[in-house]
């Protein structure tokens, strides 16, 4: 009798432990501390030619964007993070991406080996530009790309662009191939 109770409890625990592993209740592959920040050039439009867009997405898929006029100069703070003043913002908004799209963002970063990329890809010529910060699994990785063509960064920027709302537009630009 004791053996039957033990087997019953074991089977019950197994069922309870696996019941939430399918469908919408399955846990996300995206780390719970995930934060994605990307700063890229906005394509020439009704906004000034020196306008960039800063995009942020958290682990719940909540996002925000700010278009800002950098006046032709990219500024950094003491931690080498791209910065701009509130007075430079010309348009802003919020958005939410689905869990599926959030996982696609995570997959794009991993497929393009973001965490293995060097932190600095810069030269004085070329139009490619992307500044990306990703925080995940208690780590932070920054990639700053100006002027150089980096296929992995292009793939990240262009792929992320397909997952965001249509009113957020940006471009990587042509870069110099070393």
* Alpha carbon separation from 71 to 40, 68, 74 (Å, rounded): 14, 9, 8
Q: What is the pLDDT of residue 136?
A: 97
Q: What is the pLDDT of residue 2?
A: 44
Q: What is the pLDDT of residue 13?
A: 44
Q: What is the pLDDT of residue 6?
A: 43
Residue closest to 30 by CA, chosen among 96, 107, 116: 107
Q: CA-to-CA distance for 139 and 147, rounded, in angstroms?
A: 27
> Mean pLDDT for each 10-residue chunk of the chain (178 residues)?
44 42 60 97 72 96 95 87 94 97 98 97 82 97 94 96 93 83
pTM given for the model? 0.81
Q: CA-to-CA distance for 9 and 26, rounded, in angstroms?
A: 23
């Amino acid at each position: 009798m004791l053996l039957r109770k033990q087997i019953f409890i074991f089977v019950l625990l197994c069922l309870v432990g696996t019941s939430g592993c399918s469908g919408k209740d399955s846990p996300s592959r995206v780390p719970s501390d995930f934060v994605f920040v990307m700063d890229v050039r906005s394509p020439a439009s009704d906004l000034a030619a020196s306008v960039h867009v800063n995009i942020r997405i958290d682990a719940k898929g909540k996002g925000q964007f700010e278009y800002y006029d950098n006046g032709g100069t990219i500024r950094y703070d003491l931690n080498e993070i791209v910065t701009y003043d509130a007075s430079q913002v010309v348009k802003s908004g919020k958005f939410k991406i689905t869990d599926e799209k959030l996982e696609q963002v995570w997959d794009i970063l991993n497929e393009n080996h973001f965490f293995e990329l060097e932190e600095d890809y810069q030269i004085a010529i070329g139009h490619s530009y992307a500044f990306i910060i990703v925080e995940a699994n208690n780590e932070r990785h920054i990639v700053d790309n100006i002027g150089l063509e980096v296929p992995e960064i292009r793939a990240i920027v262009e792929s992320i662009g397909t997952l965001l709302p249509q009113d957020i537009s940006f471009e990587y630009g042509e870069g110099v191939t070393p």
